[in-house]
């Protein structure tokens, strides 16, 4: 298993450009998450999905969009890039039975380092 | 979902035990405690989790107080490679959120 794969690893965007950060997992996990991490700070939840076709906002969703058309893929879209979106973006996945309070551990990708200038 | 409080930073001598505390005073009865660590700028890595009882695995031990309002992650013999940011999260809902974590520096 490759686990959680994120592409690209690095990207530089100009202000106002758009891009899609790709995330795919091969573990058949139902839950997927997008986090951002600013330098020296903790992780902030952007969006999450509990299954194909279902997405919901996290702590910092403004400026981003997501979709979940398949179990494997959870792309994150930036429509109008701003310098405030310079960050490292992590995708994560887990398997969870919503009838139980236990979440199996999160598996993280290696991140996408985005700079907006 | 319960929130957590951790000290922002700690030092530990190589070979000694590192004890990382976490306060989660608003934890509800069926919420688990999870610990992750993030080495440099890699993706966070799962360490251990627990509900009520103390837990141990090949990486660490987790001690949860009887009232479940706090816990301690123990790295029994810290090495330089254990230098990382350690996150304690308590969250049984769909939104898995992280706090600021504790930056552990293991020194020779």
pLDDT band at B100 (very low <50, low <70, confident <90, very high): confident
- CA neighbours closer than 13 Å in the CB half-sphere of residue B50: 23
* % of chain B at pLDDT higher than 90: 75
* % of chain B at pLDDT higher than 70: 97
Average pLDDT, stretch A36-56?
94
Average pLDDT, chain A: 94
The verdict on A39 touching B (C-beta cutoff 8 Å) is: no
pLDDT band at B74 (very low <50, low <70, confident <90, very high): very high
Give all strands (DSSP E) within A26-103, no chain letters.
31-37, 43-51, 54-57, 64-66, 76-78, 87-94
Which residues on chain B are in Cβ contact (under 8 Å) with A33? 96
- Give the integer Cα–Cα distance in Å for B3 and B100: 11
**What pLDDT score was predicted for residue B101?**
93
Cβ atoms A10, A116 nearer than 8 A: no
The verdict on A51 touching B (C-beta cutoff 8 Å) is: no
């Amino acid at each position: 298993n490759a686990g959680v794969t994120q592409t690209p690893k690095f990207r530089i965007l100009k202000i106002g450009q758009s891009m899609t950060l790709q995330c795919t997992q091969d573990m058949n996990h139902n839950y997927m998450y997008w986090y951002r991490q600013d330098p020296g700070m903790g992780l902030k939840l952007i969006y999450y999905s509990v299954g194909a076709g279902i997405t919901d906002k996290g702590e910092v969703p403004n400026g981003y969009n997501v979709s979940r058309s398949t179990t494997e893929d959870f792309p994150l879209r930036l429509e109008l890039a701003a310098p405030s979106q310079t960050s490292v973006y992590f995708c994560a996945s887990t398997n969870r039975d919503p009838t139980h309070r236990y979440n199996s551990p999160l598996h993280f990708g290696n991140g996408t380092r985005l700079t907006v200038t | 979902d319960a929130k957590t409080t951790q000290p922002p930073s700690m030092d530990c001598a190589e070979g000694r035990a590192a004890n990382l505390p976490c306060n989660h005073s608003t934890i509800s009865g069926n919420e688990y405690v999870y610990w992750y660590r993030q080495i440099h700028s890699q993706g966070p890595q799962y360490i251990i989790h627990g509900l009520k009882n103390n837990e141990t695995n090949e990486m660490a031990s987790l001690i949860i107080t009887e009232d479940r309002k706090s816990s301690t992650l123990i790295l029994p013999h810290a090495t330089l490679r254990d230098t990382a940011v350690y996150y304690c999260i308590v969250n049984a809902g769909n939104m898995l959120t992280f706090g600021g974590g504790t930056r552990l520096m293991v020194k020779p």
